[in-house]
Amino acid sequence: MFFVRAAPGCNLPNDLASGMLLAFLDTGVTRIGTDHVFPTVQQFVDLRDVRHIGRRDYHAMHQTRFIIDADMGFGTEVILVALMRWSARFEKLGESKLTRFLSFPKEDLMSTVTLLGIDIGKNTFHLHGQDARGNQLLRKKLNRSQLLPYLAQLPSCKIAMESCGGSQWLARQIEGLGHRVQLIAAQHVKAYVTGNKNDFIDAEAICEAASRPRTRSVPVKTLEQQILSTEHKLRKSWVDSRTRIINQVHAFLLEFGIIFPVGHAALEQVPALMEHHELPIRLRNAVERMLLDIQRLTKDIKAIDVEFKQQLSEDAAGMRLLSIPGIGPLTASALVADVGDASIYKSSRDFAASLGLVPRQYSTGGKTSLLGISKRGDKYLRCLLVQGAHALMIRIDKRNDALGAWVRNLLARKPPNKVACALANKMARIVWAVLARGGSYNVQHIA
């Protein structure tokens, strides 16, 4: 037996109530009880048993409860189908409004949720659940301690979230509960936010984006991948800090008339230059502290590079990546951390496009217009591939394979920076082939 209660404040004319009985009859429901009087109920004797529990005003059914008993194990899906037929028959309420008009029991709702959108916050999470037809079934706000226990009670369904801070850990936890998780980039969700913006509307927009088959997803990283990705971000922050301090040393000494060449090797000249120009002791102490910071950061960067090499030696995919020209330990380790399973991309071009190494298109009227590279996707990986391409081009004259001939042919016609981007694109395609199909790079293949 199932119960459906009308939402507060709704008004049902008598013909609509009678039509609901017809709709239930069409779906095989055998017994309906209600605490509202249907004057025309005698016309529907096929319902076998209709019990009137009380008399209420026809136009104030805020407490009406339909008690439904169906043959052959009919459940909530039968009720939903009946309500939808009732709505379509009288064309008074749309399907999207009907689920707001009626509230279903919690245990029945949970069994019919097929898609759940979660708007992630630091302390609170807003949930929007839909059935297979896109009708809203639940709308709930939970704190961090309530979320996972609540999701553990739900039957297996698809759960969509934005790919943002904390989403990778949460995705792994939810997958452990037996659900399917889809992470979507925030820019793909924004297009589906209608009207004003709040957390529940964001959760609804996530569901809308996840229901579109062409929406691109972000892969869920393993624990090892996320740790390795964190180490790469730490290394990049050290490199940025070291560069910033070196620039400060140049700027501070320039204010006192001292200039020296760029590069790390030139920093060894700084103490002698300060001694030669007889700078004040307080200024020299400040610059020496900056030089000590540079030395410490350089030591940390070298140490973490050694860790990357050790980790790469234990990874079969990483060792295969090292066979690709222009791919060193740092780039190979970053690819293992951020890409992992390259088979999620349909082709090598899709993978190169995800890194922003393909031309940006702006075509209209049947005229194709290609611009510079799109620069979408992971900036760090794109930077490493372009740097590897530049390093490969320095000694390209010594390569006698097909790749060397291809690069030399481009250099004869195009500027070096364009050739570097084209070579980085080709390297990305080779990376996809090595990771998705297995094997190592074969220099005999025609470029």
CATH code, 198: 3.30.420.40
Q: Residues of the chain with pLDDT > 90: what percent? A: 38
- What is d(CA 323, CA 326) in angstroms, rounded to the nearest whole number? 9
Pick from 127, 102, 114: nearest CA to 9: 102
Higher-confidence position of 410 and 64: 410
**56 and 133 share one domain:** no
Pick from 323, 380, 318: nearest CA to 355: 380
pLDDT at 4 over 70: no
**337 and 433 share one domain:** yes
Higher-confidence position of 439 and 73: 439
Domain count, the chain: 4
pLDDT 10s digits, 231-285: 999 999 999 999 999 999 999 999 988 888 888 888 888 988 888 888 899 999 9
Which CA distances in Å does 125 have to 136, 144, 241, 329? 17, 7, 35, 40
pLDDT 10s digits, 283-334: 999 999 999 999 999 999 999 999 999 999 888 888 999 999 999 999 999 9
**432 and 332 share one domain:** yes
Residue 406's domain comprises: 317-437
User: Among 198, 218, 238, which residue terminates a domain?
Assistant: 218
**234 and 178 share one domain:** no
**243 and 325 share one domain:** no
Asked if residue 97 is part of any domain, the answer here is yes
**365 and 422 share one domain:** yes
**406 and 328 share one domain:** yes
CA distance from start to end of the chain: 69
Asked if residue 445 is part of any domain, the answer here is no
* Six-digit token string for 39: 């004057």
Are 392 and 326 a contacting pair, CB within 8 Å? yes
Asked if residue 229 is part of any domain, the answer here is yes
**14 and 81 share one domain:** yes
Question: What pLDDT was estimated at residue 445?
Answer: 61
User: Among 45, 78, 103, which residue terminates a domain?
Assistant: 103
Mean pLDDT score of the chain: 77
Higher-confidence position of 388 and 1: 388
Q: Is the pTM for the entire model greater than 0.75?
A: no
Residue with tokens 């981007």: 421
**328 and 433 share one domain:** yes
**196 and 230 share one domain:** no
